[in-house]
Amino acid sequence: MGGSPTFRRRLRTSALAVGSAVVVTVASIGFTNLANAATVFDANFDNGSTSGWSKSGGTWSVVSDGSSVLRQTNAGSENARQFAGDTGWTNYTVQARVKPISFGSGGHVGLLARASGSTKFYRLALVPGNQVQLQSVSGSSVTVLGSTTQSVATGSWYTLAIEVSGSTIRGRVNGTQFASASNSDISAGRIGLQTVYASASFDDVSVNTGGGTNPTPTTPGPNPTTPPPTTPPPTTPPPTNPPPGAWPSPTGQVKVDDTIQVPSSGLDGGLKRYYGIGDGGQGESQDPMFVLAPGATLRNVILGAPAGDGVHCEGNCTLINVWWEDVGEDAATFRGGSTYLVDGGGARSASDKVFQHNGGGTLTIRNFQVENAGKLYRACGNCSTSYQRHVVMQNITARSTKALAGINTNWGDTARFSNITVYGSTVICEKYRGVPKGSEPTKIGEGADGVNCIYNESDITRR
**How big, in percent rounded to 5, are the helix, strand and coil portions of the chain?**
5, 55, 45
Residue 307, strand partner residues: 277
Tell me the per-residue pLDDT of 310-325, one tens digit each, with 9 for 90 and over. Answer: 999 999 999 999 999 9
CB 6 within 8 A of CB 223: yes
Integer Cα distance of 290 and 310 in angstroms: 7
Query: What is the per-residue pLDDT for 19?
Result: 27
Can you spell out the DSSP letters for 182-216? E--S----EEEEEEEEEEEEEEEEEEE--SSS---
**Residue count of the chain:** 463
- CA dihedral for 227, 65, 151, 194, sign (positive or negative): negative
Question: Domain 9-208: which topology?
Answer: Jelly Rolls (2.60.120)
pLDDT band at 12 (very low <50, low <70, confident <90, very high): very low
Tell me the per-residue pLDDT of 361-399, one tens digit each, with 9 for 90 and over. Answer: 999 999 999 999 999 999 999 998 999 999 999 999 999
Integer Cα distance of 136 and 112 in angstroms: 10
Query: What is the per-residue pLDDT for 223?
Result: 39
Output 427 or 212, whichever has higher pLDDT: 427
Q: Which candidate, 158, 200, 172, places its Cα nearest to that of 74?
A: 200
pLDDT band at 16 (very low <50, low <70, confident <90, very high): very low
Query: What is the per-residue pLDDT for 279?
Result: 56
Integer Cα distance of 62 and 51 in angstroms: 11
* Domain residue limits, the chain: 9-208, 253-462
Distances (CA, A) of 362 to 23, 251, 347: 56, 33, 20
Mean pLDDT (the chain, rounded): 84
Integer Cα distance of 387 and 366 in angstroms: 23
Integer Cα distance of 320 and 331 in angstroms: 14
Query: What is the per-residue pLDDT for 245?
Result: 55
Q: What is the DSSP letter of 288?
A: B
Integer Cα distance of 394 and 268 in angstroms: 24
Q: Which candidate, 412, 369, 363, places its Cα nearest to that of 391?
A: 363
Q: What is the pTM of this model?
A: 0.54
Query: What is the per-residue pLDDT for 118?
Result: 74
Most confident of 14-18, 137-141, 233-237, 331-335: 331-335
CB 69 within 8 A of CB 201: yes
Tell me the per-residue pLDDT of 263-308, one tens digit each, with 9 for 90 and over. Answer: 999 999 999 999 988 755 544 557 899 999 999 999 999 999 888 8
Query: What is the per-residue pLDDT for 37?
Result: 58
CB 301 within 8 A of CB 324: no
- Exposed e or buried b per residue across 136-174, where buried means at least 16 C-beta atoms within 10 angstroms of its C-beta: bbbeeeeeebbbbebebeeeeebbbbbbbbeebbbbbbe
Q: In this structure, what are the phi and psi dihedrals at residue 431, rounded to the nearest 5 degrees? A: -110, 135
Q: Looking at residues 15-38, what average pLDDT do you find?
A: 35
Q: In this structure, what are the phi and psi dihedrals at residue 35, rounded to the nearest 5 degrees? A: -60, -30
Residue 369, strand partner residues: 346, 397
Query: What is the per-residue pLDDT for 138?
Result: 86
Q: Looking at residues 144-152, what average pLDDT do you find?
A: 94
Q: Which candidate, 388, 389, 305, places its Cα nearest to that of 355?
A: 389
Position 362: which residue type? Answer: T
Q: In this structure, what are the phi and psi dihedrals at residue 34, rounded to the nearest 5 degrees? A: -110, 20
- What is the Cβ-side half-sphere exposure of residue 343, based on CA atoms within 13 angstroms? 12
- CA dihedral for 176, 80, 63, 1, sign (positive or negative): positive
Distances (CA, A) of 234 to 87, 231, 239: 21, 9, 12
Query: What is the per-residue pLDDT for 210?
Result: 59
Output 246 or 425, whichever has higher pLDDT: 425
Q: Which candidate, 404, 347, 362, 407, places its Cα nearest to that of 380?
A: 407
Tell me the per-residue pLDDT of 212-244, one tens digit each, with 9 for 90 and over. Answer: 344 544 333 333 333 333 333 333 344 344 444
Q: What is the dihedral of CA 374, 380, 383, 387, to 10 degrees?
A: 180
Position 390: which residue type? Answer: H
Give, rounded to a whole angstrom, the gap between the first and last alpha carbons of the chain: 38
Output 158 or 278, whichever has higher pLDDT: 158
Q: Looking at residues 2-30, what average pLDDT do you find?
A: 30
Query: What is the per-residue pLDDT for 183?
Result: 95
CB 111 within 8 A of CB 121: no
Share of the chain above pLDDT 90, in %: 65
Tell me the per-residue pLDDT of 46-82, one tens digit each, with 9 for 90 and over. Answer: 988 887 787 777 899 999 998 999 999 999 888 888 9
Integer Cα distance of 291 and 259 in angstroms: 7
Output 84 or 282, whichever has higher pLDDT: 84
SS (H, E, C) 308-334: ECCEEECCCEEEEEEEECCCCCCCEEE
Residue 179, strand partner residues: 171
Query: What is the per-residue pLDDT for 285?
Result: 54
Judged by phi (left if over 0) then psi (alpha if -120 to 50, else beta), residue 349 lies in: left
The C-alpha angle with vertex 217 and arms to 233 and 26, in degrees rounded to 5, equals: 165
Task: Give the architecture (CATH level 2) of 253-462.
Answer: 3 Solenoid (2.160)
CB 416 within 8 A of CB 455: yes
Tell me the per-residue pLDDT of 168-203, one tens digit each, with 9 for 90 and over. Answer: 999 999 999 999 999 999 999 889 999 999 999 999
